[in-house]
Amino acid sequence: MAEGTIKRLTDKGFGFIDVGSSKDLFFHSSSVQGGGFDQLREGQRVTFTEGSGPKGPCAENVQEA
């Protein structure tokens, strides 16, 4: 699994993970495992697998690190 830091969360149920490259990875609340989307906070380290969504790369199976 890859690791990153939550860069931004929205009240619409999605967020972005900073993976250390020029582009951040999008993730949807439905891809969060364990405690759920409401337990995440900006700046928190997470693990995830990289997948492919309709608009390009995205994070799946997002979990607290």
Domains of the chain: 2-64 (2.40.50.140)
User: Sorting pLDDT into bands at 50, 70 and 90, what band is 21?
Assistant: confident
> For the residues 23-46, what does the mean pLDDT come to?
94
Supply φ then ψ for residue 64, to 5 degrees: -65, 140
Q: Is the pTM of this model over 0.85?
A: yes
Question: Quick one: tokens of 19?
Answer: 């993976």
Give residues with Cβ within 8 angstroms of 47, minimum separation 6: 1, 2, 3, 62, 63, 64, 65
pLDDT at 22: 84
> For the residues 41-59, what does the mean pLDDT come to?
95
> For the residues 1-19, what does the mean pLDDT come to?
96
Residue whose tokens read 């995830």? 48
User: Sorting pLDDT into bands at 50, 70 and 90, what band is 59?
Assistant: very high
C-alpha–C-alpha distance, residues 28 and 2, integer Å: 17
